[in-house]
Structure 1
Amino acid sequence: MMQLSASAPGKLVLLGEYAVLEGAPALVLAVDRRANVRIEQRDDGVCEVNAPDLGVSGAAVTVQAGSLRWQCDQAVAAKLSLVEHIWQGLMQEGLAPIAGEGFTLHLDTAGFFHVEGDTRAKLGLGSSAALTVALASALATMAGRADVLDDRTQWLRRLLRMHGRWQGGRGSGVDLGASVAGGLIRYQLVGSAREPAFTSLGWPMAGVHCLFVWSGQSVSTNDFLQRLAHWRTTRASDYAGHMHELGALAEAALEALQRHDGQSFIGLTKQYASALQQFGHACGLDIYSPAQKALAEMASAAGVSYKPCGAGGDFGVVFADDAERLATFEGAIVSAGMHVVPLGLDSEGISSHMRQTRDIPPSRILT
């Protein structure tokens, strides 16, 4: 039988959040927490989905005229809405598997949770984007179109169209970019068509040391983007002013990074953090949690830079030009109610594999 597997990393937006929506560059790191997908072909005609992190086991589904039809409780089907949206997106792109033999689909996002005793909390590391990339890649391979993964820029653009329909067109795709490309990238929406583009950068950053901290709180990015879209409509002039300031700072910081000017980069991240806080106050988004506000003040006094990562207040990054100063500041994080989370670089990005578990006639393999 045939077995497919695919995985993709999560991300942290180190700089350029929000401004990236308006064409500014963002600095994004793919981190070593991966979403994993496995598809096993079956010869009994049964199709089912297992997603233990969602509390789903053996959710029955049929494929009719290329579309999914859930044969399980509506509450269970609702938990798997992303699967349905990805399948529909692949259909529109001409990449969905054709109905045929049965299959079992396994979804694993365990790496995106923090577990402490009986407490389990989701980490804001882009799990839905990583799962989108991994699942779409596995299903496209299952449909005999593994070739679409070869050009990562074009595959990212197709994925952004699919994921954008699920998010209502509000996202920038920066998280998808990290999951597809891996490594540290400069990500930007370019041209009148706002097509995603990325450039790989070196890691670790020259003259810059990083520490990643977590507030212990889960944040809904989609909720933030919905509220921001409303504020953008009602306060267009204010929105444009804040985006211009954030975009200019992100551009300057990335130019400093490419010059290997670590001190200038860190100084500009401080300015970006301040502008981000003012933006959040103006539009009513809690980009900084109370703990993050306290930590930002402590960071300033200690000669390091602190800012949230991404849309809102769960993860943050501390930048310093001196490793010893950063290590000293790490002790202050605990007193601010934050948690240091060891995250490493994932340089691979999307990964997909296919193998036969036993020989079967080619005519019986899903195409």
Structure 2
Amino acid sequence: MKRIKASAPGSIMIAGEHAVVYGHRAVVAAIEQRITVTLTQRSDQNVRIVSQIADPFETSLGALEPSHAYRFVIACIRTHVSRIETGFDLEITSEIDPTLGLGSSAAVTIAVLGALSALVDADPAEIHTDAVTIIRDIQGRGSGADLAASLTGGMIAYQAPPEAAIIRLPRPPVLALKYAGYKTPTSEVLKLIAERMEGQEQIFHALYAEMGQQADEAIEAAQGEDWQAFAASLTQYQSLMEQLGVCDDTLAGIIAQAQSDPAVLAVKISGSGLGDCVVAVGAVPDGFTKAELATEGLIIHA
């Protein structure tokens, strides 16, 4: 009976929020808080999932219906079910701080797909494609940026499918995070923006194009390790997020407080906005938590 362990790190958006969905590039960093899955084969056809996020769940390979708590995990299993010969126990453990918005859904999806690819001897090169399909099926849309960072580790430049591209970038200066204390689901933020776009499509598309330009400039600066220019692009990106209408008073207050630290190079929203996290680059402002970069992405111990 096989026993396979796989882990994947969480991630944060550095630049490219919103615009990445419209074909522009993004900058994403993997953070060294990992989700680990341990898959142990059984002699029957049952699948049992145990984790810290929900009650244990048991089903069979022939009855893999979507489950609210484990919908990403079940979707991963369904992806490979035709090649899975026996059931298994799946134990999921997480180091990810639930208050820091570190892409836990992406990390668990990558970790489970990694373990399953080892189980059925699937091509690991297909993991990102499979993961994007799963996220989009469940959430309706998604760029796959957080999936790419969890898969590869480090800080990356990313472009979404159909012309997906992942480029490893040099190690950035110190990264730090502060949680706003609440989160508006990305789907709700996108819905609000879609409503605002009605009749103003050209204005919004111009804004996304400018966001894409700033992300490109951040990528170019990172490639040259010009961190002052990198920070300048992030600062510009934050102003564009404000124009988009996703920076509320709480986020603005956190950003203003962090900007008062002279060691901070840049500070901006990380994610879709209207809550969630703020990321600081260059120092750890008061009230922020240092976010260690994960140099490795998916790790499989088969």
Normalising by structure 2, we get a TM-score of: 0.88
Indicate the residue corresponding to 1:317 in structure 2. Answer: 279
Q: 1:291 to 1:84 in 2, by over 3 A?
A: same
- Summarize the Cα distance change of 1:255–1:53 in structure 2 as closer, same or farther, 3 Å threshold: same
1:106 maps to 91
Mapped partners of 1:265, 1:311: distance in 2? 20
CA distance in 2: counterparts of 1:260 and 1:52, whole angstroms: 39
How large is the RMSD of aligned CA atoms in angstroms? 2.4
CA contact (8 A) 2:45 2:60 kept: no
Q: Which amino acid aligns with 2:155?
A: L
Distance 1:231 1:172, change over 3 A: farther
Q: Tell me, which stretches of 5 or more residues in structure 2 are unaligned?
A: none
Letter in 1 for 2:268: K
Aligned counterpart, 1:181: 152
Map residues 1-367 of structure 1 onto 2, 5 A cutoff.
1-43=1-43, 45-54=45-54, 56-57=55-56, 59-64=57-62, 68-69=64-65, 77-88=67-78, 90=79, 95-96=80-81, 98=83, 100-109=85-94, 111-113=95-97, 121-145=98-122, 148-149=123-124, 151=125, 154-168=126-140, 170-189=141-160, 194-203=162-171, 205=172, 208-232=173-197, 235-280=200-245, 287-300=246-259, 302=261, 304=264, 305-312=266-273, 313-320=275-282, 326=283, 330-331=285-286, 339-354=287-302
Q: Match of 2:59, SS? A: strand
The alignment of Structure 1 onto Structure 2 pairs a total of residues equal to 299
- Cα distance in 2 for residues equivalent to 1:124 and 1:234: 32
1:44 is displaced (CA, Å) by: 5.2
Match of 1:336 in 2: none
How big is each residue's C-alpha offset from its partner over 1:48-94, in whole Å with a ceiling of 9 and x where there is no partner?
2212222x12x220122xx5158xxxxxx432222222233x1xxxx
In 2, the alpha carbon distance for the partners of 1:177 and 1:25 equals 12
Read off the aligned partner of 1:96 and give its amino acid letter.
V
Residues 50, 107 of structure 1: 8 Å contact kept: yes
Secondary structure, counterpart of 1:347 in structure 2:
coil
Mapped contact 1:156–1:196 kept (Cα < 8 A): no
CA distance in 1, matches of 2:146, 2:7: 14
- Secondary structure of residue in 1 paired with 2:142: coil
Q: Cα 1:226–1:85, aligned 2, differ >3 Å: closer, same or farther?
A: farther
Paired with 2:84 and 2:6, the residues of 1 have a C-alpha distance of 21
Separation of aligned partners in 2, 1:45 and 1:84: 15
1: CA distance between counterparts of 2:84 and 2:128?
26
Asked whether the 8 Å contact 2:255–2:278 carries over to 1, the reply is no
SS of residue paired to 1:349: coil
Q: Distance in 1 between matches of 2:294 and 2:84?
A: 35
Deviation at 1:293, TM superposition (A): 0.6
| Large movers: runs of 4+ above 6 Å | none
Instruction: From the CA coordinates, give the structure whose radius of gyration is larger.
Output: 1
Stretches of structure 1 lacking an aligned partner (at least 5 in a row): 71-76, 114-120, 281-286, 321-325, 332-338, 355-367
Structure 1 residues 103 and 295: alpha-carbon distance in aligned structure 2, compared to 1, 3 A threshold? closer
In structure 2, C-alpha distance between the alignment counterparts of 1:143 and 1:214, rounded to whole Å: 39
Give, as a single letter, the amino acid of the residue that structure 2 aligns with 1:53.
I
Amino acid at match of 1:249: Q
Per-residue CA deviation, residues 217-252 of structure 1 (Å, 9 max, x unaligned), is: 344223323433444455422321210121111112
SS of residue paired to 1:346:
coil
State the Cα distance separating 1:129 from its structure 2 match.
0.6
Output the CA distance in 2 between the equivalents of 1:44 and 1:158. Answer: 26
